[in-house]
Amino acid sequence: MTEVAHKNCGCKSHSGEPVICFEGVSFRYGHSLIIEDADFDIYKGESVCVVGPNGGGKSTLLKLMLGLLEPEKGSVRLLGGSARKARAQVGYVPQHINFDPLFPVSALDVVLMGCLGRGSFGFRSRADLTRAMDALDKMGLVAKAKEPFASLSGGQRQAVLIARALAGEAEVLLLDEPTAHVDVAAEERLMKSLKALDANLTLITVSHDLAFVSRSVPKVVCVNRCVHVHPTAELTDARIRQLYGHDVRMVQHDHEHLDSHGGHHHG
């Protein structure tokens, strides 16, 4: 990767403040440079996928966005402020959680955790319950609200975790490998639910699955130490080979794509 990272992908013109803004960000763990001079913006309502090989820095990029890591150089701005301060407005969905299967919580209890904030004391409010049930409804899981979280399938648990992120009235939804541990049918259901979300919600998904990328998002952030932003249509075999360092076959689908404002177009 010798190209210099560039601002914006040119796939869409944007107005107003970006939701996420990386300016000359570098980060290293010890002596290893993980992210080098990343420079890109993500705007309100965009649907973006972060791709790259294992160890390429995808998770580090995510943690920088959330303010869980501080850049060595450059700055990360989230919703116009510091990432650390604004991260409560980000709905984060981890790839998996190391939860204890004997921990007695229902799906609704888990979603209610998304309503928590620094100033939440005492018992949950009626408004919290309404928000949690709305979030479960968006993911099609109202019927499972009282079910123990541990008894749900992998796809349902992932959907509950997305509902937990939505319950916090997030402006940005950050999904780390949402389809990594689910079967094809559950993946389809998840995709359908995600597509139906509010058009103003900014959706950032980390994925290994290039087929998922090709049919899900119009804009791709390629990470392998350097960060490059492309429209999905420009994600050619040559670019992928350059990103992953070996041949990866990209399968194009004729499914609908999400445009950057939540609408649909064909790929």
Partner 1 sequence: MEGIIMAEFLRALLDPDMGFLRNALFLGLIGSIPLGAVGTFVVARRVSYLAAAIAHSVLGGIGASLYCREVLGWAWLHPMLGALMAAVLSACLIGWVSLHSKQREDAVIGAIWVTGMAIGLLFIARTPGYVDGMAYLFGDILLVSSFDLWIAGGVGALILAILLCWHRQIVAVCFDAEFASIRGVRADWIYLLLLLLTALTVVILVSLVGVVLVIALLTLPPAIAALRARSLGGMLFAAILMNIAFVFVGLGLSFSLDLPTGPSIILLAAAVYLISNGAKCLFSR
What does the binding site for partner 1 look like in residue numbers (CB under 8 A)?
66, 68, 87-88, 90, 92, 94, 97, 99-100, 102-106, 109-110, 112-114, 116-118, 120-124, 148, 164, 168
Smallest gap from Cβ 158 to partner 1, in A, equals 14
Instruction: Give the C-alpha separation, 18 to 212, whole Å.
Output: 25
Query: Which of residues 7 and 181 has its CB atom nearest to partner 1 in the complex?
Result: 181
Query: Which of residues 160 and 222 has its CB atom nearest to partner 1 in the complex?
Result: 160
Instruction: Give the C-alpha separation, 62 to 39, whole Å.
Output: 14
Q: Is 56 helix (H, G, I), strand (E, B) or coil?
A: coil
DSSP-assigned letter for residue 76: E
Query: Which of residues 51 and 115 has its CB atom nearest to partner 1 in the complex?
Result: 115
Smallest gap from Cβ 48 to partner 1, in A, equals 19
Residue 59, number of CB atoms within 10 A of its CB: 21
> How distant, in Å, are the alpha carbons of 163, 188, 243 from that of 191?
14, 5, 25
Smallest gap from Cβ 82 to partner 1, in A, equals 13
Smallest gap from Cβ 62 to partner 1, in A, equals 11
**How many Cα atoms occupy the beta-carbon half-sphere of 191 within 13 Å?**
21
User: Is the distance from CB of 77 to CB of 121 less than 8 angstroms?
Assistant: no
Smallest gap from Cβ 138 to partner 1, in A, equals 18
Query: Which of residues 74 and 94 has its CB atom nearest to partner 1 in the complex?
Result: 94
Give the length of the chain: 267
